[in-house]
Amino acid sequence: MKILLTGLTGYIAQRLLPVLIDNGHQVVGCVRDKSRFHQKHVPSNLEIIEVDFLQKESLKAIPEDIDIAYYLIHSMSTQGDDFEKLEQTCALHFKERIKETKTRQIIYLSGIVNESALSKHLMSRKNVESILSGASIPLTTLRAGIIVGSGSASFEIIRDLVEKLPVMVAPRWLKTKSQPIAIRNVIQFLYGVIGRPETYHKNFDIGGPDILTYKEMLLHFARVRGLTRHIYVVPVMTPKLSSYWLYFVTSTSYSLAKNLVNSMKIEVICQPNNLAALLKIDLIDYDSSIQLAFDKIEQNQVLSSWKDAQTSKLLKKGVAHYMDVPVNGCFKDTRKAKITDQQASLSRIWSIGGKNGWYFGNWLWEIRGFIDQLNGGVGMRRGRRSDTDILVGDALDFWRVLVASKEENRLLLYAEMKLPGEAWLEFKIDEHQILTQTATFRPLGLYGRLYWYAVLPFHALLFNGLLKRIAR
């Protein structure tokens, strides 16, 4: 079958793609920016097209001979409060274009809807479902709650809370019940409903076998990890305070934290159905889901992370727009060092950041990240998807990877922290075994120039130490 896979750089699509490829389907993957999609070996049955679902004209790139279309687009992590409008616009444009193709089924992953008073996030998902159902093409909707898997937003937030806080004073929404599902089961459901007429024009709630409160989920997580944790629920923490609590303790952005808090006040429990039995899917319990996720983390096999797919206004023009580091009107800090072992130095460059740290003055990097977080930035909390591997588009602490080429011995990062300007950090090894480390800053106005001179002493310390550690 020829399958359209939207949201290709997103968390779910990155997990679904290899399943479709391995089963011999011809996949057409939609990305807003081709530069953000990178695989070492692109299979012959994968075609990448550039489509921005907010720009109606770009949807003409979608072929007409599509058999199955996956709609896996959402904007909840978008900065600002307009994600509902963005999701509606994307869905309308998709519906109009998909009606012009030979598509026989649309498969949409939504959220469980249990109550009439829904959060903005769940109401938006339900609205998208209504739009897609009007496409006169059979729609199969799978509705999931908390998805548990290495790199998923829910998993990483729970992990941050449990591993960072021995004692938690938590908001009352921790008493809300949910029915978490393993990412492995989600992918099995998404793949299993392909071409199944009994699923057409229907929606199915999908969840694991356990119904737990968020407090129980945290305590179960702690037990699996061999940790002792104490949680005290207080009724006085407002949604705004809860959002800040998540924002400062976990790796989520404030906008996503706010939307998550609003969703977590609503119970998400599956309405009974026979889909798992129909597709012969064995549901994985919550504790086993956690263990499976850590098996992937320990083997360094995390395929995708919600952080890498997070929408950034800084990169709305596309990764390619920032690849050419500007020269004019910029401040530069360039340092060089002779290396003796190219592979060792390249390995250090490729392992920089995350829990590996920045090799010199890590506490200063952490302070800079905390200051950024206080100003509403991403801070240093995002870490990295893999300890040893880097792909274009990956989040790396408060940087975004623009170029990661071992053939060119070059890594280029773009700063996503709050700055009075724009910043790049580049590492490159030439044929003479010279490592060049270049920090480029394009200031915005007088404040940007003052900022550069203010941090210059710290740059001299940090960048010099970093260079020496990589070259050593």
- Residue 310: inside a domain, yes or no? no
Tokens of residue 387, six digits: 């300890």
Residues 85 and 199 in one domain: yes
Count of CB atoms situated within 10 Å of the CB of 184? 18
- Residue 303: inside a domain, yes or no? no
Residues 89 and 225 in one domain: yes
How do 46-50 and 26-31 pair as beta strands?
parallel
- Residue 312: inside a domain, yes or no? no
Residues 413 and 347 in one domain: yes
Residues 261 and 391 in one domain: no
Residues 252 and 390 in one domain: no
The predicted structure's pLDDT at residue 374: 78
Mean pLDDT by 10 residues, the chain (472 residues): 90 90 92 68 82 90 94 65 79 92 94 70 81 89 88 77 80 83 94 95 94 90 88 72 64 61 73 94 93 70 49 54 77 92 92 89 87 79 79 84 88 90 92 92 87 89 91 86
Are 103 and 66 in contact by the 8 Å Cβ rule? The answer is yes
Residues 349 and 292 in one domain: no
- Give pTM, 2 decimals: 0.70
- Residue 339: inside a domain, yes or no? yes
In three-state secondary structure terms, 300 is coil
- Residue 314: inside a domain, yes or no? no
* DSSP bridge pairs for 334: 438
Domain containing residue 420: CATH number: 3.30.530
- Residue 396: inside a domain, yes or no? yes
The predicted structure's pLDDT at residue 378: 77
The predicted structure's pLDDT at residue 136: 86
- Residue 110: inside a domain, yes or no? yes
- Residue 398: inside a domain, yes or no? yes
The domain tally of the chain equals 2
* DSSP bridge pairs for 5: 29, 70
In three-state secondary structure terms, 161 is helix
Residues 129 and 222 in one domain: yes
Residues 141 and 181 in one domain: yes
The predicted structure's pLDDT at residue 76: 47
Domain containing residue 178: CATH number: 3.40.50.720
Are 286 and 216 in contact by the 8 Å Cβ rule? The answer is no
Residues 290 and 350 in one domain: no
Domain C-terminal end among 298, 316, 342: 298
The predicted structure's pLDDT at residue 472: 82
Q: Which domain holds residue 353?
A: 326-471
Residues 349 and 421 in one domain: yes
The predicted structure's pLDDT at residue 81: 54
> How far is Cα 34 from Cα 438, in angstroms, rounded to an integer?
26
Please give the full DSSP string across 219-259, using - where no structure is assigned. Answer: HHHHHHTT---EEEEETT--HHHHHHHHHHHSS--HHHHHH
